[in-house]
């Protein structure tokens, strides 16, 4: 049997981009599944003639809406990093990634503020447990995003000029923005 | 020999003793280094074999749990009443998370990069992390069950641990699935378009994408269950709510998704029988994809799609709105009949490829033998699941569903065994003897039928004793099959006279161009692919009887 001809070195197939796209699908499924159960439980409670949001609890609308607006900033800064990385502009890439991280930390802080304003104990019933489950999942995604931005910065600025991870990191933030938009509507607006 | 012989005079000689001690130290260091190498390996073949090893241990342990349950049900001996709930939990966890998932993913991780002509798996550390998370979750799950946890357990902390352990497994399996899917999408050899991807790799892609859709939904549900059970216990029914909210992952049709790689083994083995190119590869892909529709059951978080029949909405003459009738029939058909149709398509295509060619001797590989029998068993599970959902048959609440789950799991395990035997030359460098493999396939078939079919019969007829004894015998035979398979593998690996051939099955795909066992990095040169059956392009008597994507 003769051997198959050796091929040229395979063209880079953007493994990180594909991987982050698949991770985004998984994150959307996680959120979608949780919000579906949230909606079901809410409907069951309302059908019983009870209120879903416990009495005495109010949703602090200002930090919630500011968080939603902050995602416009996060996505813009992440895309700025991609643009700068593509042009090989290390200073702008570093600055854009730093601002992305800063805004993400601000969102985490805002979520902590929402917790303190609502004053809801995790054992205060079904709503409380589910509220902390959904928002806790969101906080976990934000933390992963901050770590990812830091890794992207190290890999791009540390000499490898890895533009792909900067683009993958931007895909991640777009997905988190979609996720928070859904949480904003289902959890904070519909209540 | 790792110990010093105490009867030897050498014991008295300090110099010899120090040599022996040094040798023993060296061996211990080598052993430790070897273990560390395995534990931290990013070689996909090792990660896959770790998953497969875990899956075979899981299969054996689950068969033993089933034997204990069979003994109790057959009134041969009585198990402590408090332990029954944990045994029933262990049965489901063992069948799905302990056997079906690790066997399927393990074979995919071990084989897919070889089939694609890739030097490695995409994100191998992610896959390795997934394996250890799965192991950790399974161990925690067993600890929880042993200590009165589980879906029907009485110890609250252990119930929490049971829920959390499944969350850990879900994350680990998602990670492994992500690694497999990215590999198929990005690491194919030059010239290997998606249409030229081998059938087994395509089945791996479908399962991986399905897992990426299903496992996060499970994780979200488990997060709710954990926090609710840990705190309020008002919204999800406490520990009994686990099966109300998450049963769908432990039963059909979701389990069909996990069994797809076993069907892929059949699809891979069928064209080898008479060395044919596969015509209309798209039809085979469509068949595999239709089985993947089962993923939507997980997405919808539904375990049973009931179908009322006579005297109900579906009865056309009943005067009800046609829309109501369709509302019952469409989800039932989508979740039960589409996967069934997909498997039928794959089996029919395989039978078409198995049609004897004049003058040619059949080349019966373990992939076809085990894969065909395994697919047949999964088909029985699918048929049972479709019947189970028909309300008027009154099968819900009986052991009928358990029979379907065992058909699917043991059938898939049989298919995966065929895959392990088929690709053993690439994974271990030895070809398993066909003369001993084929009787094992037969034994596995008998075991699966005995362990499952009586439960189907019992669903219609409740005189339990005879059926329970048959089921018990089936599980004993499956335990023996698993043990015999592992023993055969172990003895063949220790036998230096075993066949070391690079291409013992006269195969068609890229993995058979590399030496046996496949070296680290898989290929010296990445080959160029010109058709879906690249080896047939270069073998002297390549058959061109049927068209293929070239």
Q: What is the pLDDT of residue B362?
A: 86
Q: How confident is the model at residue A77 (pLDDT cuts 50, 70, 90)?
A: very high
State how many domains chain B has: 1
Radius of gyration of chain B (CA): 25
The pLDDT > 70 percentage for chain A reads: 94
B374 and B265 Cβ atoms separated by less than 8 Å: yes
B261 and B416 Cβ atoms separated by less than 8 Å: yes
Whether residue B55 is contained in a domain is answered as yes
- Respond yes or no on whether ipTM tops 0.85: yes
Angstrom distance (rounded) from CA B417 to CA B437: 10
Whether residue B293 is contained in a domain is answered as yes
Residues of chain B contacting residue A133, judged by C-beta atoms under 8 Å apart: 220, 223-224, 227
Residues of chain B contacting residue A22, judged by C-beta atoms under 8 Å apart: 178, 181-182, 212
Is A29 within 8 Å of B299 when comparing Cβ atoms?
Answer: yes
Is B235 within 8 Å of A126 when comparing Cβ atoms?
Answer: yes
Residues of chain A contacting residue B181, judged by C-beta atoms under 8 Å apart: 22
The residue-averaged pLDDT of A176-186 equals: 97
Residues of chain A contacting residue B212, judged by C-beta atoms under 8 Å apart: 22, 25-26, 29
Q: What is the pLDDT of residue B188?
A: 94
pTM of the model as a whole: 0.92
Whether residue B137 is contained in a domain is answered as yes
Query: CB-based burial of residue A28 (10 Å sphere; 0-12 exposed, 13-18 middle, 19+ buried)?
Result: middle
Nearest residue of B to residue A10 by CA position? Answer: B190
Is B216 within 8 Å of A29 when comparing Cβ atoms?
Answer: yes
Whether residue B280 is contained in a domain is answered as yes
DSSP B307: B
Cβ atoms within 10 Å, residue B157: 13
∠ at Cα B98 (B252, B239), nearest 5°?
70
Nearest residue of B to residue A13 by CA position? Answer: B186
Q: State in Å, rounded, how far the first CA of chain A is from the last one.
A: 69
Q: Which domain holds residue B49?
A: 43-538
CATH code for position B282: 1.20.210.10
Q: What is the pLDDT of residue B315?
A: 53
Tokens of A161: 């000029």
| Higher pLDDT among residues B232 and A146, named by residue | A146
Chain centroid to Cα B312, Å, comes to: 38
3-state secondary structure of A6: strand
pLDDT one-digit tens code per residue, A23-70? 999 999 999 999 999 999 999 999 999 999 998 899 999 999 999 999
Q: What is the pLDDT of residue B441?
A: 96
Radius of gyration of chain A (CA): 21
Domains of chain A with bracketed CATH: 17-189 (1.20.120.80)
Whether residue B381 is contained in a domain is answered as yes
Is B227 within 8 Å of A6 when comparing Cβ atoms?
Answer: no
Whether residue B54 is contained in a domain is answered as yes
Provide the H-helix boundaries in B193-280.
Answer: 199-230, 241-246, 254-258, 260-269
Cβ atoms within 10 Å, residue B4: 14
Is B220 within 8 Å of A2 when comparing Cβ atoms?
Answer: no
Of A23, A123, A130, the CB nearest to B178: A23
Is B190 within 8 Å of A8 when comparing Cβ atoms?
Answer: yes
pLDDT one-digit tens code per residue, B357-394? 888 888 889 999 999 999 999 999 999 999 998 887 88
Question: Taking CB atoms and an 8 Å cut-off, how many pairs form between chains A and B?
Answer: 134
Mean pLDDT by 10 residues, chain B (550 residues): 37 54 77 85 95 97 94 78 87 96 98 95 96 97 93 90 97 98 95 95 97 96 93 82 87 93 96 89 96 82 65 53 74 89 96 85 90 97 92 86 96 97 94 92 97 92 76 96 96 83 91 92 88 88 48
Q: Phi/psi of residue B527, each to 5°?
A: -75, 155
Whether residue B223 is contained in a domain is answered as yes
Contacts of B174 (CB under 8 A, 6+ apart): A26, B130, B211, B212, B215, B216, B219
Q: How confident is the model at residue A9 (pLDDT cuts 50, 70, 90)?
A: low
Q: What is the mean pLDDT of chain A?
A: 92
Least confident of A11-20, A88-97, B541-550: B541-550
**Which residue in B231, B300, B524, B542 has the most chain A C-beta atoms within 10 A of its own C-beta, making it the best mutation to test that interface?**
B231
Is A125 within 8 Å of B232 when comparing Cβ atoms?
Answer: yes
Is A26 within 8 Å of B174 when comparing Cβ atoms?
Answer: yes
B53 and B135 Cβ atoms separated by less than 8 Å: no
Q: What is the pLDDT of residue A1?
A: 57
Q: What is the pLDDT of residue A10?
A: 64
């Amino acid at each position: 049997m003769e051997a198959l001809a050796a091929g040229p070195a395979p063209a880079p197939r953007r493994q990180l981009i594909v991987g982050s796209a698949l991770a985004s699908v998984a994150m959307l499924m996680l959120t979608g599944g949780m919000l579906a159960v949230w909606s079901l439980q809410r409907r069951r409670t309302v059908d019983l003639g009870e209120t879903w949001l416990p009495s005495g609890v109010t949703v602090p609308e200002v930090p919630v809406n500011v968080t939603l607006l902050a995602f416009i900033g996060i996505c813009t800064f992440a895309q700025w990093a991609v643009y700068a990385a593509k042009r090989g502009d290390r200073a702008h890439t570093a600055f854009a990634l730093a601002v992305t991280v800063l805004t993400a930390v601000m969102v985490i802080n805002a979520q902590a503020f929402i917790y303190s304003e609502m004053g809801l104990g995790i054992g205060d019933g079904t709503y409380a447990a589910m509220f902390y489950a959904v928002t806790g999942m969101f906080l976990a995604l934000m933390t992963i995003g901050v770590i990812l931005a830091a890794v992207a910065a190290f890999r791009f600025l540390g000499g490898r000029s890895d533009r792909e991870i900067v683009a993958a990191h931007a895909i991640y933030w777009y997905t988190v923005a979609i996720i928070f938009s859904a949480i904003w509507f289902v959890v904070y607006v519909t209540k | 020999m790792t110990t010093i012989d105490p009867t030897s005079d050498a014991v008295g000689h300090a110099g010899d003793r120090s040599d022996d001690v040094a040798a023993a130290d060296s061996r211990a260091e080598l052993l430790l280094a070897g273990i560390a190498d395995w534990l931290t390996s990013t070689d996909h073949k090792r990660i896959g074999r770790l998953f497969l090893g875990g899956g075979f241990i899981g299969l054996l342990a689950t068969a033993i749990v089933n034997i204990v349950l069979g003994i109790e049900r057959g009134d041969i001996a009585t198990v402590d009443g408090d332990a029954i709930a944990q045994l029933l939990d262990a049965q489901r966890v063992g069948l799905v998370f302990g056997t079906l998932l690790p066997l399927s993913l393990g074979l995919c991780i071990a084989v897919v990069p070889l089939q694609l002509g890739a030097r490695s798996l995409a994100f191998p550390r992610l896959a390795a992390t997934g394996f250890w998370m799965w192991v950790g979750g399974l161990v925690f799950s067993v600890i929880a069950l042993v200590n009165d946890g589980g879906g029907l357990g009485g110890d609250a902390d252990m119930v929490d641990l049971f829920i959390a352990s499944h969350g850990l497994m879900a994350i680990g399996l998602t990670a492994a699935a992500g690694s497999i899917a990215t590999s198929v999408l990005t690491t194919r050899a030059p010239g290997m378009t998606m249409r030229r991807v081998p059938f087994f790799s395509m089945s791996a892609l479908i399962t991986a994408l399905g897992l990426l859709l299903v496992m996060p939904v499970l994780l979200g549900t488990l997060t709710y269950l954990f926090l609710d059970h840990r705190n309020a216990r008002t919204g999800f029914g406490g520990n009994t709510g686990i099966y109300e909210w998450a049963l769908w992952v432990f039963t059909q049709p979701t389990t069909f998704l996990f069994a797809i790689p076993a069907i892929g083994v059949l699809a891979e083995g069928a064209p080898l029988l008479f060395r044919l190119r596969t015509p209309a590869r798209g039809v085979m892909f469509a068949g595999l994809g239709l089985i993947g529709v089962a993923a939507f059951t997980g997405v919808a978080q539904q375990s049973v799609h009931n179908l009322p029949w006579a005297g109900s909405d579906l009865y056309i003459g009943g005067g009800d709105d046609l829309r109501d009738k369709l509302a019952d029939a469409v989800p039932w058909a989508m979740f039960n009949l589409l996967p069934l149709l997909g498997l039928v398509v794959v089996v029919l295509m395989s039978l078409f490829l198995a049609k004897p060619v004049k003058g040619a001797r059949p080349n019966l590989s373990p992939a076809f033998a085990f894969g065909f029998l395994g697919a047949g068993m999964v088909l029985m599970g699918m048929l049972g699941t479709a019947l189970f959902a028909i309300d008027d048959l009154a099968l819900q609440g009986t052991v009928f569903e358990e029979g379907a789950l065992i058909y699917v799991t043991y059938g898939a395990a049989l298919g995966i065994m065929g895959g392990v035997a088929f690709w053993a030359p690439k994974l271990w460098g030895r070809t398993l003897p066909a003369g001993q493999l084929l009787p094992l396939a037969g034994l596995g078939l008998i075991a699966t039928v005995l362990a499952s079919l009586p439960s189907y019969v019992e669903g219609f007829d409740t005189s339990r004793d005879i059926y329970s004894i048959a089921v018990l015998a089936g599980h004993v035979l499956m335990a023996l099959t698993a043990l015999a398979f592992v023993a055969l593998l172990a003895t063949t690996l220790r036998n230096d006279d075993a066949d070391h051939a690079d291409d013992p099955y006269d195969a068609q795909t890229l993995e058979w161009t590399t030496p046996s066992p496949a070296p680290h990095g898989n290929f010296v040169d990445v080959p160029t692919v010109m058709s879906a059956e690249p080896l047939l392009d270069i073998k002297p008597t390549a058959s061109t009887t049927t068209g293929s994507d070239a």
